[in-house]
Structure 1
Amino acid sequence: MIALSLAEIADITGGRPHDIPDPSVRITGPVVIDSRQVEAGSLFAAFAGEHVDGHDYAERAVASGAAAVLAARPVGVPAIVVADVEKALGALARAVVERLGTDVVALTGSAGKTSTKDLIAQVLQAHAPTVWTPGSLNNEIGLPLTALRATEETRHLVLEMGARGIGHIDYLTGLTPPRIGLVLNVGTAHIGEFGGREQIARAKGELVEALPAEADGGVAVLNADDPLVRAMSARTKARTVLFGEADDADVRASEVRMTPAGQPSFTLHTPTGCGEVTLRLYGEHHVSNALAAAAVAHVLGMSTSEIATALSGAGTLSRWRMEVTERADGVTIVNDAYNANPESMRAALRALAAMGGAARADGGRTWAVLGPMAELGDASLAEHDAVGRLAVRLNVSKLVAVGGREASWLQLGAYNEGSWGEESVVVSDAQAAIDLLRSELRPGDVVLVKASRSVGLERVALALLAGEGEVADR
């Protein structure tokens, strides 16, 4: 964060200094919400959570080097006491971003946000100093914490924005007003909460509505292949740049093909030229993500050749998202267990099928270890059934459905599509899946593990990679 005095922070947040002998003391370290992450000169923001109250760790934070605490009440150590810590943190983020004048790139979508954000970050980092959202810290707390990592050297600030309902993205754009807004897609993630794709589109479109006008540099980067996203051009005063495989896309791909390992390769076209890209990521769905990143980089002035080179060198930054690891015995584990929705589940299965081509040549099999997809509401049965059917259509060798009624719906879809015998099986929990796989896997097999985050199915992948039968919750 840029260095600010405690007096300045109090003024920005509307807070009251408490137990601060010298208000001119400056925050020179990061802003953190975990006392274990405190560094010298940090500001520790104390949040009262459901199970842990950060105010109880204020003394520890200061003892570890924090210059002060942002708190909702006096804590016995130097603190700026505010009415609402979350709102104060947001006000501080906005003030810092406005002072820096950095280019803010915000992105949202139903699927692929984090993978695309990681691609954008790596491409822009090759161009100029860039700060980006770590992992999926895309909410009212994670977003300002990311923005506060920016310094005077930061040229690009890339922020992932999530939404749980109408108004959420509008709130986030108020904290860190973007100049460039990217909408990836409108799918069915959280459809149980939103009530329909049209409502999801309404929420995602809040991003383009928040952009400055074209005359003021605003740019909306929209997916030309998604009709609901393309239509958002009517909701913004910003300039529109389209990406996708559509012929009229400003940034598009042609000659898309897959390497034997399941990595996409294509020719990238931008208004300034073309270049060849071979991604290090797995699955054809990453072509759209790469085009989105390329469109943002094009808007920010990178040449096509620079973009193509950076995309070809980019990897996975966030854990448990199509992490591909080959064990010493030749079994390949694909850990995509961070989260799941119908769109990302289908994309992962197609990636597994593409990787399976090489596996079958060596006598290996493909395994889809799938758990429930959360927050689908009334669409849950149909969506799980459809995923089970797709696994059969893609000729996945083995479907292991893990836990609960959703697992039975996955298997039912597979059975109705033509699965029989032991091609699909339901197991009760992650440990049962681990036991089955450890007894059945053989060299050359490829195992995909995927479910909604709440299921914790990463335990299966971690256990198989650790060579252990059981892995503790993380």
Structure 2
Amino acid sequence: MIALSLAEIADITGGRPHDIPDPSVRITGPVVIDSRQVEAGSLFAAFAGEHVDGHDYAERAVASGAAAVLAARPVDVPAIVVADVEKALGALARAVVERLGTDVVALTGSAGKTSTKDLIAQVLQTHAPTVWTPGSLNNEIGLPLTALRATEETRHLVLEMGARGIGHIAYLTGLTPPRIGLVLNVGTAHIGEFGGREQIAQAKGELVEALPSEAEGGIAVLNADDPLVRAMSARTKARTVLFGEADDADVRASEVRMTPAGQPSFTLHTPTGCGEVTLRLYGEHHVSNALAAAAVAHVLGMSTEEIATALSGAGTLSRWRMEVTGRADGVTIVNDAYNANPESMRAALRALAAMGGTARADGGRTWAVLGPMAELGDASLAEHDAVGRLAVRLNVSKLVAVGGREASWLQLGAYNEGSWGEESVVVSDAQAAIDLLRSELRPGDVVLVKASRSVGLERVALALLSGEGEVADR
């Protein structure tokens, strides 16, 4: 973060200094919400959560080097006391971003946000100093914490924005107003909370509504292949740039093909030229993500050659998202267990099927270890059934459905699609899946592990890679 005095922070947040002998003391370290992450000169923001109250760790934070605490009530250490810590953190982020004048790139979508954000960050980092959202810290707390990592050297600030309802993205764009807004897709993630895809589109489109006009430099980067996203051009004053495989896309792909390992390769076309890209990521769905990143890089001034080279060198930055690891015995584990929705589940299964071409040539099999997809509401049965059917259509060798009724729906879909033998099985929990796989895996097999974050199915992948029987909760 740029150095600010405690007096300046109190003024920005509307806070009241408490037990601060010298208001000119400056925050020179990061702003953190975990006392274990405190560094010398940090500002510790104390949040009162459901299970842990950060105010109880205020003394520990200062003892570890924090210059002060941002708190909702007085604590026995130097603090700035505010009415609402979350709102104060947001106000601080906005003030810092406005002072820096850095280019803010914001992105949202139902699926692929984090993978695309990681691609954008890696491409832009080759061009100029870039700060981006770590992992999926894309909410009212994570976004300002990311913005506050920016310094005077930061040229690009890439922020992922998530939403669970109407108004969420509008709020986030108010904290860190973007100049460039990217919308990836409108799917069915959280459809149980939104009520339908049209409502999801309404929420995602809040991003382009927040952009400055074309005359002021605003740019909306929209997916030409998604009708609900393409239609958002009517909701913005910004210039629209389309990406996708559509013929009229400003940034598009042609000659898309898959390598034997399941990695996509294509010709990238931009208004300034074309270049060849072979991604290090797995699955054809990453073509759209790469085009989105290319479109952002293009409008920020990078050449097509620079973009193609950077995309071809980019990897996975965030854990448990199509992490592909080969074991010494020839078994390949694909850990995509960070989260799941119908769109990302289908994409992961298609990636598994593509990787399975090489596996089957070597006598291996493909395994889909799948758990529940959360927050689908009334669509849950139909969506789980459809995923089970797709696994059969893609000729996945073994479907292991993990957990309660959703697992039975996955298997039901597979059964109704013609999987009547031992191709699919329901197991009660992650440990049961581990035990089954340990007894049946053989060299050459490829195992995909995927479910919603709340399921914690990454334990299966970690156990299969660790060589241990059971991996404790993390």
Please give the range of the TM-score, normalised by the shorter of the 2 chains: over 0.9
Question: How many angstroms does 1:268 deviate by?
Answer: 0.1
- Matched residue SS, 1:444: coil
**Structure 1: tracts of 5 or more residues without a match:** none
Per-residue CA deviations over 1:180-201 (Å, capped at 9, x if unaligned) read: 0000000000000000000000
2:65 & 2:401 partners in 1: Cα distance? 48
1:323 & 1:79 partners in 2: Cα distance? 42
Question: How many angstroms does 1:385 deviate by?
Answer: 0.2
Per-residue CA deviations over 1:252-307 (Å, capped at 9, x if unaligned) read: 00000000000000000000000000000000000000000000000000000000
The question of 1:121 aligning with 2:121 is answered yes
Per-residue CA deviations over 1:242-261 (Å, capped at 9, x if unaligned) read: 00000000000000000000
Per-residue CA deviations over 1:95-135 (Å, capped at 9, x if unaligned) read: 00000000000000000000000000000000000000000
Per-residue CA deviations over 1:190-242 (Å, capped at 9, x if unaligned) read: 00000000000000000000000000000000000000000000000000000
2:247 & 2:407 partners in 1: Cα distance? 40
- Matched residue SS, 2:363: coil
1:454 & 1:48 partners in 2: Cα distance? 22
- Matched residue SS, 1:159: strand
1:473 & 1:414 partners in 2: Cα distance? 30
Per-residue CA deviations over 1:34-56 (Å, capped at 9, x if unaligned) read: 00000000000000000000000
- Matched residue SS, 1:211: coil
Question: How many angstroms does 1:468 deviate by?
Answer: 1.1
2:293 & 2:3 partners in 1: Cα distance? 31
Matched with 2:19 is 19
2:403 & 2:463 partners in 1: Cα distance? 17
Question: How many angstroms does 1:446 deviate by?
Answer: 0.0
2:11 & 2:207 partners in 1: Cα distance? 29
Matched with 1:455 is 455
1:191 & 1:417 partners in 2: Cα distance? 25
Question: How many angstroms does 1:360 deviate by?
Answer: 0.3
1:405 & 1:62 partners in 2: Cα distance? 48
Range that drifts further, 419-428 or 87-96:
419-428
Matched with 2:362 is 362
2:322 & 2:387 partners in 1: Cα distance? 18
Per-residue CA deviations over 1:123-182 (Å, capped at 9, x if unaligned) read: 000000000000000000000000000000000000000000000000000000000000
Per-residue CA deviations over 1:5-24 (Å, capped at 9, x if unaligned) read: 00000000000000000000
Matched with 2:42 is 42
Per-residue CA deviations over 1:390-412 (Å, capped at 9, x if unaligned) read: 00000000000001000000000
- Correspondences of 1:253-332 after superposition (within 5 Å): 253-332=253-332
Aligned residues: 474
1:198 & 1:367 partners in 2: Cα distance? 35
- Matched residue SS, 2:221: strand
Q: TM-score when scaled to structure 2?
A: 1.00
Question: How many angstroms does 1:420 deviate by?
Answer: 1.7
Question: How many angstroms does 1:469 deviate by?
Answer: 1.2
- Matched residue SS, 2:207: helix
Per-residue CA deviations over 1:303-351 (Å, capped at 9, x if unaligned) read: 0000000000000000000000000000000000000000000000000
- Shift >2 Å, 4+ stretches: none
- Matched residue SS, 1:208: helix
Matched with 2:169 is 169
Per-residue CA deviations over 1:75-103 (Å, capped at 9, x if unaligned) read: 01000000000000000000000000000
1:285 & 1:421 partners in 2: Cα distance? 30
1:132 & 1:420 partners in 2: Cα distance? 47
- Matched residue SS, 1:407: helix
1:48 & 1:372 partners in 2: Cα distance? 30
Range that drifts further, 172-181 or 415-424:
415-424
- Matched residue SS, 1:448: strand
- Matched residue SS, 2:339: coil
1:29 & 1:267 partners in 2: Cα distance? 43
Matched with 1:6 is 6
1:328 & 1:361 partners in 2: Cα distance? 19
The question of 1:207 aligning with 2:207 is answered yes
- Matched residue SS, 2:17: strand
1:432 & 1:89 partners in 2: Cα distance? 43
1:103 & 1:218 partners in 2: Cα distance? 11
1:264 & 1:455 partners in 2: Cα distance? 29
Per-residue CA deviations over 1:342-396 (Å, capped at 9, x if unaligned) read: 0000000000000000000000000000000000000000000000000000000
1:211 & 1:461 partners in 2: Cα distance? 41
Q: TM-score when scaled to structure 1?
A: 1.00
1:137 & 1:25 partners in 2: Cα distance? 29
Question: How many angstroms does 1:445 deviate by?
Answer: 0.1
Matched with 2:66 is 66
Per-residue CA deviations over 1:405-438 (Å, capped at 9, x if unaligned) read: 0000000000000102210000000000000000
Output the aligned Cα RMSD.
Answer: 0.2
- Matched residue SS, 1:149: coil
2:365 & 2:420 partners in 1: Cα distance? 16
**Structure 2: tracts of 5 or more residues without a match:** none
